Structure 1
Amino acid sequence: MTATETASATAPKKQWLTATVREVIDETPRVRSLVLDVPGWPGHRAGQHVDVRLTAPDGYQAQRSYSIASAPVENAITLTIEMLPDGEVSSYLAGEARVGDMFELRGPIGGYFVWTPDLDGPLFLVAGGSGVVPLMAILRERAIRKAPQPATLLFSSRSYEDIIYRAELDTLAGEGSGLRIFHTLTRGAPAGWTGQTRRIDAGMLSEIGFAPGRMPRIFVCGPTPLVESVARTLRDLGHSPKLIKTERFGPTGR
């Protein structure tokens, strides 16, 4: 998952490791990516997440979960964090962390919301806001592995400026690898915008997504209302519930 401001109650008992910030990337005005060196990192699969733990000088600790944005074959792991109102951990990671900073990290966690290149069938990814983070790990893995499965990303953002990974997504879509990317903006669009300008609905999913008969593997990630609405609509359109994987984030997420 992307960012949760509630502790992960079901995290497996993995060893805490020390992460050092190698690079800070401003993705949008409210979102940053941190590229981390993590000695002893055991590797991960696209779609998994980690727990991050911060410790204050007085010993107070805060722990949150964040999706891994990087592909498993990269030599560092990347977390992409959205600044959340009153977020104890996100305010530091998305606003204050600098190159050389260190904090604790545990993972990888999660075995359900994952994709590997050996899975057959088209790939349909649906994201809302920072829910794109684990899906970006999937797209990066697909690109690096040169996976042959056709893929489509439907990405809902508030505004053009809020589109996370905008330039990289444009590059991936232009590589001729069978990846299609569609954007929809829900709070206004700039002059000349040719994409959608509404919330994701049945018409959009039917028009942009793969037909149910092609048995696409579907991954949906974002705020709980979006995830529940999209998953329900996909089932109504005839997609197999067994092929729809969902990930919720936010106050009512994992």
Structure 2
Amino acid sequence: MSSVWRVADVVATRMETPTARTIRLRIPGLHGHLAGQHVDIRLTAPDGYQAVRSYSIASGGGRGALEPRELPDDELELTVEELADGEVSPYLVRGLADGDQLEVRGPVGGWFVWRDGDTSPVQLIAGGSGVVPLMSMARAHAAAGSAAPFRMLYSLRSPASGYYPDELAALAADTVAPLQLDYVYTRQAPEGAPAPARLTAEGLMQRTLPASDSPTFFICGSTPFVEAVSGWLVDAGHEAARIRTERYGGIGGTP
């Protein structure tokens, strides 16, 4: 982890959804990162006003979403969701251009991370843009060819709001280190899927690893989503010590 601010180059970008963008950064002095970590981004206005925000790293195991998919150790990717009242995210999603530079600090974090030497079962639970650090873990799991059972539950409003749909499908089809993938749609569901509905405690139990498997949980989403899901898991007999959570500051509702 580095507490020093460094100047990163914007190598490439891509819109993931109408309001979310993946950004590849080259950071001098970076030597890789752990799956699930984040970085701080600082913007400075002409009058000297500064705004700092934290963004989860989306790449993992040396893999990202943009071409080429393999990343050197001094590069990483973020996926940023635009907040209507945000000071930083609108610029990152709408104003940033390839070749621009950003001030970056990190990577940061050592608890909400997955390490490829861990062989215990893992259950990832994402609400909306909370999928970003969990995607970092899924990529790292695949890159390592890990035998650890990995399952992801992704709750989102509609198919159009989902991040990385093609890559998630490919990870689910991987025969070496497959990702068991479950979706919950709360407002609009694709053809052939169950009718849209909010996630419930019963639905959660049907789509996650059982307590008998002693999985480690990584949950990321809005505060109401994370609190509700965590409570349901504890009520179902999962150990609180195995439930790791991370919240984002965007607008979000209950599951």
CA deviation profile, 1:185-239 (whole Å, cap 9, x unmatched): 111224x142562222211221111110111111000000000000000011111
Indicate the residue corresponding to 1:188 in structure 2: 188
| Residue deviations 1:47-104 (CA, integer Å, cap 9, x gap) | 1111100112222211100001111433210010001012110000011111001010
Match of 2:46 among 47, 52, 57: 57
Q: Residue 67 of structure 1: which of 56, 74, 77 is its match?
A: 56
* RMSD (Å), alpha carbons: 1.7
26 and 195 in structure 1: CA distance in 2 versus 1, 3 angstrom threshold: farther
Is the Cα–Cα contact under 8 Å of residues 185 and 197 in structure 1 kept in the other structure?
yes
- The DSSP-based 3-state class of the residue aligned with 1:52 is strand
Question: Pairwise mapping of residues 20-31 of structure 1 onto structure 2 (< 5 A)?
Answer: 20-31=9-20
C-alpha contact (below 8 Å) 2:2/2:108 kept by paired residues: no
Amino acid of the structure 2 residue aligned with 1:158: R
State the distance in 2 between where 1:172 and 1:195 align: 22
8 Å Cα contact 2:119/2:147 also seen in 1: no
Instruction: Check whether the contact 1:224–1:252 (CA below 8 A) recurs between aligned residues.
Output: no
Contact 1:183-1:196 at 8 Å conserved across structures = no
TM-score by structure 2 length? Answer: 0.90
Measured in 2, the distance between the counterparts of 1:121 and 1:204 equals 23
Query: Is residue 21 of structure 2 the alignment partner of residue 35 of structure 1?
Result: no
Letter in structure 1 aligned against 2:127: G
- 2:113 aligns to what SS in structure 1? coil
List runs of 5+ in structure 2 lacking aligned partners: 63-70
With 239-248 and 68-77 compared, the bigger mean Cα shift is at 68-77
Tell me the residue number matched to 1:5.
Answer: none
Supply the AA of the counterpart residue of 1:181. L
* Alpha-carbon distance change, 195 to 78 in structure 1, aligned in 2, over 3 angstroms: farther
Asked if the contact 1:66–1:79 (Cα under 8 Å) also holds between the matched residues in 2, the reply is: yes
SS at match of 1:230: helix
Percent sequence identity is 45
Kept after mapping to 2: 8 A contact 1:149/1:178: no
Task: Check conservation: 1:36, 1:78, Cα contact below 8 A.
Answer: yes
Amino acid at match of 1:92: Y
Q: Does 1:81 align with 2:80?
A: yes
Query: CA 1:120 to 1:100, structure 2 compared with 1: closer, same or farther past 3 Å?
Result: same
Structure-1 separation of matches of 2:251 and 2:161: 22
Q: Is the 8 A contact 1:184 1:196 kept in 2?
A: no
Give the structure 2 partner of residue 178 of structure 1. 178
| Equivalent pair of 1:21/1:34 in contact (CA under 8 Å) | yes
How far did 1:241 drift?
0.7
**1:194-209 map, 5 Å:** 194-195=193-194, 197-209=196-208
With 139-148 and 203-212 compared, the bigger mean Cα shift is at 203-212
Write the distance in 1 (CA, Å) between the matches of 2:2 and 2:31.
14
Q: Distance in 1 between matches of 2:192 and 2:45?
A: 45
Q: CA distance change for structure 1 residues 196 and 112 in 2, over 3 Å: closer, same or farther?
A: farther
Pick which of 100-109 and 172-181 moved more. Answer: 172-181
Equivalent AA in structure 1 for residue 178 of structure 2: G
Structure 1 length normalisation: TM-score? 0.90
Q: Distance in 1 between matches of 2:192 and 2:43?
A: 41
Q: Secondary structure at the match of 1:95?
A: helix
Name the amino acid aligned to 1:250. Answer: G
* Amino acid corresponding to residue 182 of structure 1 in structure 2: D
* Runs of at least 4 residues off by over 3 Å: none
Identify which of structures 1 and 2 has the higher relative contact order when contacts are C-alpha pairs closer than 8 Å and 6+ apart: 1
- Which sections of structure 1, spanning at least 5 residues, go unmatched? 1-11
Structure 2 counterpart of 1:47: 36
- Partner SS, residue 163 of structure 2: coil
